[in-house]
């Protein structure tokens, strides 16, 4: 099942299967499931933000007194493997691997 469809079914029950789209209310989802989906969404958005602004993310990860080597940061972020690692890590966590 596609991720979007799984997400919608989690939020909307079987509404997609019967062609309704989003139901009038989301009472089909327990608060526990809703909270889990929101947490999962937040983790995936965080990975996308890291991909979108890698240098900013690197700066946020520095400990007190540490400095970011700008040249090295630019070299690291110029590699597609850097972004693949972020995406694969987020997907593995998402899939429970």
Total domain count, the chain: 1
Length of the chain in residues, anyone? 97
Distance CA 87, CA 6 (A): 19
Distance CA 97, CA 89 (A): 9
Distance CA 52, CA 55 (A): 9
Domain containing residue 46: 3-95
pTM as predicted: 0.62
Express each pLDDT in 31-83 by its tens digit. 888 888 888 899 999 999 999 999 999 999 999 999 999 999 999 999 999 99
């Amino acid at each position: 099942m596609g991720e979007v469809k799984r997400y919608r079914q989690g939020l909307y029950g079987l509404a997609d299967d019967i062609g309704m789209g989003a139901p009038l209310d989301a009472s089909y989802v327990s608060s526990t499931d809703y909270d889990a989906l929101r947490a999962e969404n937040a983790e995936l958005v965080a990975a996308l933000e890291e991909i979108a602004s890698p240098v900013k993310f690197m700066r946020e990860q520095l400990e007190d007194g540490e400095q970011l080597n700008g040249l090295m940061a630019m070299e690291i972020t110029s590699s597609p493997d850097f972004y693949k690692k972020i995406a694969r890590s987020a997907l593995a966590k998402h899939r429970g691997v």
